[in-house]
Amino acid sequence: MEGRGVADHGFIESIYLREPNGYVVELSVPTRDPGERDLDQAQQELDRSRSSLSVSLAMLRVLSAHPLASRTSWTSSSLFVNRF
């Protein structure tokens, strides 16, 4: 199998292999136990995501109440907010 070496993601180390059918397989191992700081950081990211979703839904409500909204076709791609 073809491999790419070890990738260090900070909390896990991974090896990526390509199996005979062409699929990429990841084998990973944790490098440390999650600490209190990691859990706090995860909670903060979750809170930010929820906040961003709330703002997007609020914008959708405002836009859908607009008089021209009945003549406008809304798609999921037009409502997508890229956070990165």
pTM here is: 0.40
pLDDT in tens, 55-84: 777 777 777 776 666 555 555 444 444 443
Distances (CA, A) of 80 to 37, 47, 55, 84: 30, 18, 12, 12
The domain segmentation of the chain, as residue ranges, is 36-69
Residues 6+ apart with CB under 8 A from 27: 14, 15, 17
Structure tokens that stand for 47 in this block: 């809170």
pLDDT in tens, 1-48: 777 788 998 888 999 998 888 899 999 998 877 677 778 888 888 888
The span from the CA of 32 to the CA of 17, in Å, is 23
